[in-house]
Amino acid sequence: MTAANVYQQRPTSGAKAESSLHHADLASLVGKGRKNAGVTVREKKLLGHLTIRGDGHDAAFAAGVHKALGIELPGALAVIVKGETSLQWLGPDEWLLVVPSGEEFAAEKSLREALDDLHIQIVNVSGGQQILELSGPNVRDVLMKSTSYDVHPDSFPVGKAVGTVFAKSQLVIRHTAEDTWELLIRRSFSDYWWLWLQDAAAEYGLSVQA
């Protein structure tokens, strides 16, 4: 494998970082929404996001990923969640790893060590995207307003993840639990989607969770 320099992008624990919705001050909205709101939003901010590329048909690659992460390599349109860590299929040779804040450097080193002899690519994309978690009995209704993708349980079961058009842009929808979904969004569109969600969820009631 070609030698690769791996950089610790958070050299000190006190380094200042702001999420893409910092300006919206979501923390000030906690507890102010409608009681028994049909939709609850939580900003999963400042997590570590790494894209992994490799040969998904190579048993050594799959074994190396499992050795490093303790997670099986997911197949097409699937996401596997293990605690605060998730691994999602993005394409035939690409996956997205999401880890708790501050763990991305260690995760990258573990992957490179486990996949040392293979042709791979690992890129830290943490600064370019983030996740909004939606939960509650009316989340599916909001999704049906926002995308033409079929989100019926038979078509979109728990564990599925797809990239699709949402409102007037693109994002990734991840179904992580029965009444819980995640929107993987680009940083530059965060404000647009936050405004969209407030409008789309207004009739059901929207609350913000810390």
Chain segment 103-136, per-residue pLDDT in tens: 999 999 999 999 999 999 999 999 999 999 999 9
Dist CA 120 CA 160 (whole Å): 25
Summarize the confidence of residues 135-161 as an average pLDDT: 98
The whole-model pTM stands at: 0.93
| pLDDT of amino acid 35 | 86
Rg for the chain (alpha carbons), in Å? Answer: 18
Summarize the confidence of residues 144-167 as an average pLDDT: 98
| Angle between the N-to-C axes of helices 139-146 and 190-200, in degrees from 0 to 180, rounded to the nearest 10 | 120
Chain segment 66-104, per-residue pLDDT in tens: 999 999 999 999 999 999 999 999 999 999 999 999 999
| pLDDT of amino acid 14 | 72
Q: Residue 160 CB: number of other CB atoms within 10 A?
A: 17
| pLDDT of amino acid 196 | 97
Cα-Cα-Cα-Cα dihedral sign, residues 82, 96, 130, 77: negative
Strand-by-strand arrangement of the 121-124 sheet: 79-82, 85-91, 94-99, 48-53, 121-124
The torsion region of residue 25 among left (phi > 0), alpha (psi -120 to 50) and beta comes to: left
Q: Using the predicted structure, report yes or no on whether residue 11 has a pLDDT greater than 70.
A: no
Q: Give the CATH number of domain 25-209; options: 3.30.465.10, 3.40.50.2020, 3.40.47.10, 3.30.1360.120.
A: 3.30.1360.120
Reported as a pLDDT band with limits 50, 70 and 90, residue 2 is: low
Parallel, antiparallel, or unpaired for β 206-209 and 39-44? Answer: parallel
Q: Using the predicted structure, report yes or no on whether residue 4 has a pLDDT greater than 80.
A: no
Task: Output the CA angle 63-174-183, nearest 5 degrees.
Answer: 125
Reported as a pLDDT band with limits 50, 70 and 90, residue 27 is: very high
Domain boundaries, the chain: 25-209
